[in-house]
Structure formats: structure tokens, C-alpha cells
Amino acid sequence: MSEPVVVAHGGAGRVAKGRLEEHVAGVATAAEAGLAVLMAGGSVLDAAQRTVEVMEADPLYNAGTGGSLTDAGTLELDASLMEGAGLRAGAICCLPPFLHPIRVARGVLDDGRHVMLAAEGAARFAEAAGFERSTEAVMVTASARERLERWREGRVGEGWAGGTVGAVVSDGRGHVAAATSTGGTVGKRVGRVGDTPIVGAGTWADDRSGACSCTGIGEAILRFALARDACERLRQTDAATCAEEAIAAFGERVAGEGGLILVAPDGSVGIARNTETMSHAVARPSGTTSGS
Ligand code: ASP
């Protein structure tokens, strides 16, 4: 038995030096909020969800409020979560404005009939489950609009939002969970679905291997099934090595750019990226560490 742990990321990309400290601090706050849920008796899934919720509410990140915009200037949100004991998962994609897409994904998981719901169907499910629709006026930030403008002018490459959020959790007693949420890549086509809501690509959790949340160019992550790849490696070696090896293979095979956080059922952690930054934090009862 080892210490429980919550690991969080705030997206792979290139966060400007002047904003990095605040960006990393927000991820640490989220991881600690998730850990508090776990220590109060919540499940690993509850803790992963809470960690992501905190960052969805923070306009600094590309998830929930502050999410990146489509080429039409609209918000289409993707999120998923999974628990490793029963391999139960819930996901939504192309969700119109709702403050907490990860809560809707959790609703899909708890409902249990489907794993993933899309667009207006997902929105109707969310309303029936008691979630209120939000609006673009409330959730679109000036910075998201600026990012879209820069993209339209060809000044930024697709995918460099650097603010997708994710969490992986281990209770140190063999149970793991993962959750990821995003607005997607800047200027994506309306209807585009990235890796974030796809089980095995952006998010994976299995008590027999581990849990992983990914970030980066979704098309490459989808083709490589990166989260499942990283977790499968845990059957052979330690989490830190697996994270590095998975990102190296991802770069080699599909020219992928991104990063991931990984936790084994014994609570050991791996964090890797091949981008300039990926804000991350590791919260344990004995203390929190963070970095980019
Ligand atoms: N993976 C996300 C997507 O492609 C974007 C990101 O992680 O920044 O939608």
C-alpha cells in the first residue's frame, strides 16, 4: 500500500513565460482539490472529476469556461472520464456551452446505457439530468477570441492552445481513474472530435495497468491510442519510464506532439511531454510538487 495521489495537467503546448507561474499554480490548486475529495472518502473517479472541474471553471485553461473556439467562433466541448475497477467510462463530444462538461460525462457514465453522447443529443441528455445550459456570452473569454483571431491570421499553428486539462488518480490501494476535458484545438472545424473524449486515446483507466490523461494534437493521439499505449507499458516497467517511452514512440510513429500524465495502481507516477511546456502537479497527503 502506498500514498494516494492525484496528478493533474493543464495542457501541452507553449505557455508564455510570463503566464507560466499562474498556469502551474492553478493546476496545483486543482490537484489538491481532487486530493481533498479522495481523503474525505470520495472515490478515485470523484477525485479525478473534481480536479478537472476546478480547471474547467478557471478561464486560464482550454476547458469549460475559456475553451478554444471552432473556425465558426463557437464553443464545442469534449470530455471523458473512466474508472479502472469496472472499466466504466462516460464521454461527451461537441457539447454546446455547459459550465462543466466533465459533470455531463460523469452523468453518462452513471447512467450506464451509453459510453458517449454527441452535440445536441448530449445537450438534451444533460438537461434531462438536471444540468443547465450556459451560453457563449458567459463562457467565451476575450483570450479565446484572441487565440482564434491569431489562428485566422495564420500566426499560430493548430493545437497550440496549451490549456486542455486532465487528471489521473490512484488511491494507493490498487484503484485508478482518469478524466480529461477540452475546448479542442483552436480553429477546429465545426463537428471535429479530438482525442479527449475518446476512451483509449485521450483518457484510459484500468486497475490492471494504470490510468492516463493525454494532451496535444488530437488527431495524432487518436491514431496512436496514446492513453492505452502508455498504460499497457505499465505491465513491463515503472511509470516514469513508461511515460517517456510512450511519448517517444508517439513522436516517432505519428509525428505526435503532446504530453501525458500516468499513474500506476501502486501510486507511482509518470509525466512526459515533447512540447515546450505542460503545466502539471502531483498532490499527495505528504505534499504537492508542480512544474511545467
Ligand atoms: N488534445 C486536445 C484536442 O486535440 C487539445 C489539447 O490537448 O490541447 O482536442
Question: What's the gap in Å between 289 CA and the centre of ligand 1?
Answer: 24
Residue 163, CA distances (Å) to 96, 115, 175 in order:
19, 25, 27
- Mean pLDDT of the residues in the chain: 96
Residue type present at position 147: R
**Active site residues per annotation:** 164
Phi, psi (rounded to 5 degrees) for 245: -65, -40
The predicted pLDDT at position 82 comes to 99
- For 178-235, the pLDDT digits (tens) are 999 999 999 999 999 999 999 999 999 999 999 999 999 999 999 999 999 999 999 9
The predicted pLDDT at position 154 comes to 86
- For 32-59, the pLDDT digits (tens) are 999 999 999 999 999 999 999 999 999 9
Q: Which domains are seen in the chain, by residue range? A: 5-291 (3.60.20.30)
Q: Could you give the count of Cα atoms lying within 13 Å of 21 in the half-sphere of its Cβ?
A: 1
Ligand 1 first shell, C-beta below 6 A? 11-12, 62, 159, 161, 164, 182, 184-185, 194-196, 215-218, 221
Q: Is the pLDDT of residue 159 over 90?
A: no
Question: What's the gap in Å between 40 CA and the centre of ligand 1?
Answer: 31
Q: For residue 99, what is its C-alpha cell?
A: 459550465
Q: For residue 176, what is its C-alpha cell?
A: 485508478
Query: Of 169, 176, 181, 159, whose CA–CA distance to 258 is shortest?
Result: 159
d(CA 221, CA 203) in angstroms, rounded, equals: 10
Q: Residue 215 CA: which ligand 1 atom is closest?
A: 7
- For 123-157, the pLDDT digits (tens) are 999 999 999 999 999 999 999 999 999 999 987 76
Confidence at 161, pLDDT banded by 50, 70, 90: low
